[in-house]
Every structure is written in structure tokens, then in C-alpha cells.
Amino acid sequence: MMNVNDLIKKFEKPTDSNQLFYQAMEEVVLSIAPLLDSDDRYKKNAILERLVVPDRVIKFKVEWFDDNQNIQVNTGYRIQFNNALGPYKGGLRFHPTVNEGVLKFLAFEQIFKNSLTGLPIGGGKGGSDFDPKGKSDFEVMKFCSAFMTELHKYIGPRVDVPAGDIGVGAREIGYLFGEYKKITSKYDGILTGKPFMFGGSLMRPEATGYGLIYFTETMLELENKEPLTGKICTVSGSGNVALHAIEKLYHLGAIPVTCSDSKGTIYHKEGVDLDLLKDMKFNRRVSLEEYLEVHPEATYIPAEDYPADGHAVWDIPCYGAFPCATQNELTGMDAQNLIANGVEVVAEGANMPCTTKATNDFLNHKICFGPAKAANAGGVAVSEFEMAQNASMGKWSFEKVDQKLKTTMQQIAKRVVLTAKDYGVEGNYVDGANIAGFKRVADAMIAEGI
């Protein structure tokens, strides 16, 4: 049986393709060392060795016709990582940076995130290097149909239930669902994040962003810090997670002053205009630069005007910082800027948006830090609520879903805090989340045998 350091060494010299997986794996493995020391069942059952290898990696070709009748070829993936706790569950990402390594890291993170929710869902992730940006609706539909032609063989309501992620929203889920139905003649809840009219849950679009803020509120309360009301907050990203986090910040009376996309950052001192942002990003799918046409008093900072190892959003003084764009977007330099400007709380809306250096800086400076696995679990939690509604052919009210989401996020925060305390790392939400998430999966794996 290998010890923790041997296991990390086995993965040493991370290559470009497995660097992200290595980063995620190393963090988990280092966090759970006290648990492995306190209970030898995990070593005896070789849980770590078994947990870092996916159950299966499915890779397939996706061929489709673009609007000029040219044939396009992309690669599709589904990584079914671990189903000890329930059917594989996790999103699909459509983005040109997608490859097996990116999805392996995301699927790995998803195992622990899903475990932390306390709900019966395993971990998986999938997607494609297809870029929906700049494609016509018809092209997106063609691609989604071709993608599902392969994917349908591997999914099912009790097998694997994909959802959205970057580049996959209600439009893509709708086309994917339609194709599944056509191929199989089954009206099954094989995807979550469906539009409400055909089986989606109310509040699924809001869930990750709202959940992030519910989690943060609980974390602040548990740490005896001031709530977000009246506080300046910075948010990165301008997708589903970012805009709904901004919405919930406004509900609480906070002042979200930033958002960003791949081309630049908006800084609006009085608070960003959420209705305008929703129209720009959800309806018109345009660049943030256009924000200035309506609000010339705001500032737009093009990404190329800022040093490559930093991000303009994190240079703005704030009480709470919410990275909601993508992995490793918040660097060591960004963390230093935030700390120097007096940040009190950082919570991750995207998956692993803080680099290892940034995370350690926050922890060393005793900043209240909510790691993604715990802080952004609201999305997948409401996905599980959607599965429950589909299974019972029922529909829950907005209030019911919202209340259940809030309770789930509060429970996650409390579970993380108690676990950190139990294992001698009080106040460290990273270790707390990793240990609590790992323990539930590992105990199920032991009970289920080889």
C-alpha cells in the first residue's frame, strides 16, 4: 500500500495535458493525510489508488455540417469517474480548450463536490472542443445532435446524467434532449438544466450563483464576520454563475462592482447594471465592451492592457471576491493584490479558479476562503432536485427549490467547518471540504467492496 507522498510522486512531472488533474489531485491527497493516518481502513482498501483512476473515459468523434455545407469534425468526451454514491453526475463543457486532461480534473472535483451535497450522485464530466461562440443556432443544433448520436449510448437516468457547464446552457441542453428523445423514443430525465417547459427545475439557472452566496453568508456567520450587506464585492466572469451571483448579492444589499469576459473587465463603481448584462450575455451574446454604450461612466479594461499573470478584477478593493469565470483565473499576484486591498472573504464560483499559490496565500493570511467543491455545489444540488422531480413526474415551486438549496448550502458549510475542526485544521475550508467529501465516497467504496 502506497503512502500519500508515493502516490503524488507517481504522478510527478505533470505534463501539459494532466497538469490540472495533478493540481486537483495533489490538493485532495495532501488534505486527507490526517484522515488516512487516523483510520487504516482507507489504506487497507487502497481507496486513494482506486479513486484517482476514472471508471471509464469515453472518447468519440463528432461530425457535423456547418452553414456552408462544409463537414466539421470535433472530439467528444464523457468521463465516468466514480459512481459509489449514485449515478455519474456532472456537466458538459463546450469550449476550444477542452481535452481529456481538463475533463479529468473537472470530473475528479465533481466526485467530492457531489459527495459534499449529501445527495445520491456520483462524479462525471464531459464535453467537446466545439466552440459555440460565433456559431449560428442551426450549427449549434447540428453539433448537439451529432454529439448525442454517440453520447446516448452511455447515459441514462440511473446511469449517468449530464448537465451544462461553460458553453452549455438551456439552448444546448434542449437540442441534446431533443436528439436523445428522437434516437431512443424515451422521455427520460437524462439531462438536467432542461428548460422548465419540458422537465427542468425552477431555479436551476440561478442555483450555482445563488448557492455560492448562500454558502458565503453561512461561512461569514460561522466565522463571526460581518455579512455582505452594504459591502463592495468583485465578481469575475459574465456567464450563468457570475450573473446569478451578482443578482443574489444585490438581493442582500451588497454592491457588486465588476464582471469580466475573455476580452476584458467592467468596473462600475456604483454597482454593475444587471439587466443590461443579462441582455448582453444571455440574449445578444455580445462582448462586455458594449456596456460602455449605455454606461459611459463605467470603466472597461481590455485584457491585453493588464499583465498576463494577473487579472484587472482582482485589483479593485473589495470585502468579498467571487471568481466565477474559469480554472486558475486568480493567480498568486491577484491574491496578493486582494489581500493588500483588505479582502475579507473569497468564495469560488467557478471550478478551481484560484491557483494553488493563491489558495495558500488566502489560507496563510486567514482570509475566509470557500473552495469551489463546497461553494459552487448549489448547481449540481438543484440538478439532483431536477432528477427527483423527473422521477416522480412532479414540479416543485420556486420557493421550495430555493429553500432546499439554501438548507443544502448551509449544511455543506457546517459539515466542512466541523470536519476541519475534527481533524485539527480548524478554519481551513479546503481541508475540511476535501476530507468530508472524500470520507463519504471512500466509506461507500469500502462498503461496496471490489
Report the 10 Å Cβ neighbour count for 31: 24
Shortest Cβ distance from residue 383 to ligand GLU (Å)? 3
Shortest Cβ distance from residue 270 to ligand GLU (Å)? 31
Considering only residues 132 to 191 of the shown chain, the ones binding ligand GLU according to CB under 6 A are: 163, 165
Burial class (CB in 10 A: 0-12, 13-18, 19+), 393: exposed
Which of 20, 35, 87, 89 is close enough to bind ligand GLU by CB under 6 A? 89
Q: Quick one: 91 or 370, whose CB is closer to ligand GLU?
A: 91
Q: Among the options 104, 113, 125, 142, which is catalytic?
A: 125
The one segment of 20-28, 67-75, 89-97, 174-182 that binds ligand GLU by CB under 6 A: 89-97
Considering only residues 343 to 382 of the shown chain, the ones binding ligand GLU according to CB under 6 A are: 351, 379-380
Burial class (CB in 10 A: 0-12, 13-18, 19+), 430: buried
For β-strands 264-267 and 258-261, DSSP reports them as: antiparallel
Q: Are 121 and 85 in contact (CB under 8 A)?
A: yes
Q: Is 192 in the site for ligand GLU (CB under 6 A)?
A: yes
| Residue number, nearest CB to ligand GLU | 91
Shortest Cβ distance from residue 385 to ligand GLU (Å)? 10
* Active-site residue flag, 10: no
Q: Rounded distance, CA 261 to CA 239, Å?
A: 8
Q: Quick one: 207 or 343, whose CB is closer to ligand GLU?
A: 207
**Dihedral angle over CA of 148, 128, 123, 57, nearest 10:** 90
Shortest Cβ distance from residue 90 to ligand GLU (Å)? 5
Shortest Cβ distance from residue 165 to ligand GLU (Å)? 4
Phi, psi of 216 (to 5 degrees): -65, -45
Tell me how many degrees the CA angle 76-78-80 measures, rounded to the nearest 5.
Answer: 165
DSSP state of 347: E
Q: Quick one: 131 or 273, whose CB is closer to ligand GLU?
A: 131
As annotated, the active-site residues are 125
- Where along the sequence are the contacts to ligand GLU (CB under 6 A)? 89-91, 163, 165, 192, 351, 379-380, 383
